[in-house]
């Protein structure tokens, strides 16, 4: 009889432990405050737009559109770089977003849930040229 009580008590303890150790893997992570559409301008007045989406529980850059103005042969040219990728081009880590818009590198830091600032640099070829023109600058953006 004593063994039956001990066995019953052990079964209750094991059941209590199993119930209290629920699996949290199915619990969705809270949405990032950075998810949304961001619009901004560079220091030379070029426009930009980024879309940050929740992809597999991470805040990722999923779309961008950037106008880049540069000088070539005495003329000012503007090129538009844009793209969309539902899996994301880059993931936000530690309030930072770094990615490459070929051939320009972009580094951004989120200053708050509604403000970001960053830098860009790279080299662009002008029409019919083999010599790239260096571009670099800064930008700010706010969340819509």
Kindly report, residue by residue over 44-72, the tens digit of the pLDDT: 999 999 999 999 999 999 999 998 888 87
Kindly report, residue by residue over 109-123, the tens digit of the pLDDT: 999 999 999 999 999
Q: How far apart are CA 59 and CA 143, in angstroms?
A: 14
Its pTM stands at 0.75
Q: How far apart are CA 16 and CA 49, in angstroms?
A: 52
Kindly report, residue by residue over 86-109, the tens digit of the pLDDT: 999 999 999 999 999 888 899 999
Contact 111, 139 (CB under 8 A): no
What is the DSSP-derived secondary structure letter of residue 35?
-
Task: Locate the DSSP E strands across the chain.
Answer: 36-42, 47-55, 58-72, 75-84, 90-91, 96-101, 104-110, 115-125, 132-143
* Closest C-alpha to 138, from 46, 37, 39: 46
Domains belonging to the chain, first-starting first, are 36-143 (2.40.128)
pLDDT at 29: 62
Kindly report, residue by residue over 2-17, the tens digit of the pLDDT: 554 554 444 444 444 4
pLDDT at 26: 60
């Amino acid at each position: 009889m004593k063994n039956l009580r001990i066995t019953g008590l052990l079964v209750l303890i094991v059941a209590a432990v199993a119930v209290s150790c629920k699996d949290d893997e199915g619990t969705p992570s809270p949405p990032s405050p950075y998810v949304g559409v961001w619009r901004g301008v560079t220091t030379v007045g070029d426009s930009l737009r980024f879309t940050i989406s929740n992809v597999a529980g991470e805040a990722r850059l999923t779309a961008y559109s950037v106008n880049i103005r540069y000088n070539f042969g005495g003329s000012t040219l503007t090129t538009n770089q844009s793209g969309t990728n539902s899996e994301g081009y880059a993931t936000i880590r530690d309030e930072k977003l770094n990615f490459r818009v070929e051939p320009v590198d972009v580094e951004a830091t989120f200053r708050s849930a509604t403000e970001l600032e960053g830098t860009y640099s790279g080299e662009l070829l002008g029409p019919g040229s083999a010599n790239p023109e260096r571009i670099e600058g800064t930008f700010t953006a706010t969340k819509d």
